[in-house]
A and B are shown apart, each in its own frame.
Chain A
Amino acid sequence: MAVLGTASADVPLLIPPNWASLPARQKAVLAPLAGEWDQLEAWRRMKWLEIADRYPSMTQEEQARVQRRMKDWVKLSPEERKAARERYKNVQKATPEQREALKQMWSEYKTLPEEEKRRFRSLSGGGTAATPSSSTADSSPSAPH
């Protein structure tokens, strides 16, 4: 099992370590989580240690995105994380062209004025947008939370 085979090289995973016990290399990767680390459940700490092990194989751009987003990610509710994963998995089934189109639409949507967004909200009979209230990563001033 990869979790045992990789992260255990640095720290024993039977009891995931607290922040003070983490090696410097893992602390550097997981720095945005320093404040929350000791409160995270054991299996979530295992997951983040696994992500830290994958980190060196990412491009610099990807590494920056991961570090920028991880703090907001841990603040999501389990239901929100589950929903995001499911939708992400569905998007991965799409063609590269469709994924590129989605990326452009998100960029376009972020530039819409709030008034325009409210109009779509009222058209859909909503007004109870299920946006992650705590999330600020990758959001612009005009973008939703």
Chain B
Amino acid sequence: MSEEYRVNRKICQLLDSGTRTLDRRIEDRLHAARQGALSRHQQTIAAGELRLAGSGGVIVGIPKYARVLFAAIAFSAGIFATYATTTYLERLQQAEEAAEIDSALLADEIPFNAYLDQDFLEWLDHLAQDESSQG
């Protein structure tokens, strides 16, 4: 028998002997308070308890499958948020690049039709061939 056990036992004996001298009404109130505390404790466990500690989450009293599901959803949301942010930034970058070239192209003295007119491009080729054959 350890020293700690002997001390605990002594405390219990003292408390037991103390309650024998208590008034009946006080004894009843202590009993009711104890029953109430036990009841509340049981309800807390049954309902589950969620505690958040720091940036990570500590989930207590929730079934394991629910915790796995929650982690999977959180992970997927993180992946989606990263993808969405990356895509958005890429779009912004594309918009900025396109704006730079489109504003210059649209404002240029040579209209964009010239760059899309296949006949004109072939005519240029024809002129270039004529020049090279003459030169």
Contact = CB atoms under 8 A, between A and B. Distances in A.
Interface string B97-133: 0110111111111111111111110111111000000
B91 interface: yes
A48 B96 CA distance: 9
A51 interface: yes
A34 interface: no
A3 B96 contact: yes
Nearest to B87: A43
A120 B122 contact: yes
Given A91-B110, A117-B123, A126-B122, A47 B102 contact: yes
A105 to B, nearest CB: 6
A131 B112 CA distance: 11
A46 B95 contact: yes
B102 A85 contact: yes
Contacts of B93: 1
A48 B101 CA distance: 12
Given A66-B107, A85-B102, A47 B119 contact: no
Nearest to A87: B115
A128 B104 CA distance: 29
B118 A47 contact: no
A90 to B, nearest CB: 9
A144 B95 contact: no
Interface in A17-73: 42-44, 46-48, 50-51, 54-55, 58, 62-63, 65-66, 69-70, 73
A139 B113 contact: yes
B99 A83 contact: no
A89 B124 CA distance: 17
A42 B91 contact: yes
A102 B110 contact: yes
Contacts of A135: 112-113, 116
B102 A51 contact: yes
Interface of B: 88, 91-96, 98-99, 101-120, 122-127
**A-B residue pairs, 8 tightest by C-beta:** A138-B111, A50-B99, A62-B107, A87-B115, A46-B95, A47-B95, A43-B91, A130-B118
